[in-house]
Amino acid sequence: MKKIEAIIRKSEFDETKEALHEIGVTFFSYWDVTGVGNEKVGHVYRGVTYSTADIQRRYLSIVVTDSFLEKTVETLLKAAYTGKVGDGKIFVSSIEEAYRIRTKEKGADSLK
């Protein structure tokens, strides 16, 4: 099993969530985060420059089977893409085991 952690623009979250549901990702966790990225230039609004050093993003945590990893990552890359600085990052790590508390299922069965 693999854990996918994705940091994406908040503005792309609804499209990303819908795309994940379409491919069969039925459960994931998410929360709002603030980070510091490569974007160095501030934005100007009505003559006032605002710092963009602290960037508001959405953090997604998804656990999938090894065979479903590539499809999930490809979906994230497509759905969260704008082509601009600050689109985000995706990290993948291994999960040793997973359990569903209610049924005591473990491994890939716990992800269904």
Sheet holding 29-36, edge to edge: 29-36, 54-64, 2-9, 88-94
Q: What is the pLDDT of residue 65?
A: 96
Residue 20 has pLDDT above 90, yes or no: yes
Residue labelled with tokens 């854990």:
3
User: Taking the C-alpha atoms of 82, 26, 63 and 57 in order, what is their torsion angle to the nearest 10 degrees?
Assistant: 30
Q: Residue range 65-88: average pLDDT?
A: 94
The answer, yes or no, to whether residue 60 has pLDDT greater than 90, is yes
C-alpha dist (Å) from residue 100 to 42, 76, 93: 45, 25, 20
Domains of the chain: 2-111 (3.30.70.120)
Using the predicted structure, report yes or no on whether residue 28 has a pLDDT greater than 70.
yes
Range 18-45 average pLDDT: 84
Q: Quote the pLDDT of residue 61.
A: 98
Of the segments 2-6, 32-36, 85-89, which one has the largest average pLDDT value?
2-6
pLDDT at 104: 96
**SS3 label, residue 51:** coil
**Cα Rg of the chain, angstroms:** 17
Question: Average pLDDT of 20-46?
Answer: 83
DSSP class per residue in 16-35: HHHHHHHHT----EEEEEEE
Counting every residue written for the chain, the total comes to 112
The DSSP secondary-structure symbol of 112 reads: -
pTM over 0.95: no
Confidence of residue 35 (pLDDT cuts 50, 70, 90): confident
**Contact (Cβ atoms closer than 8 angstroms) between residue 17 and residue 10:** no
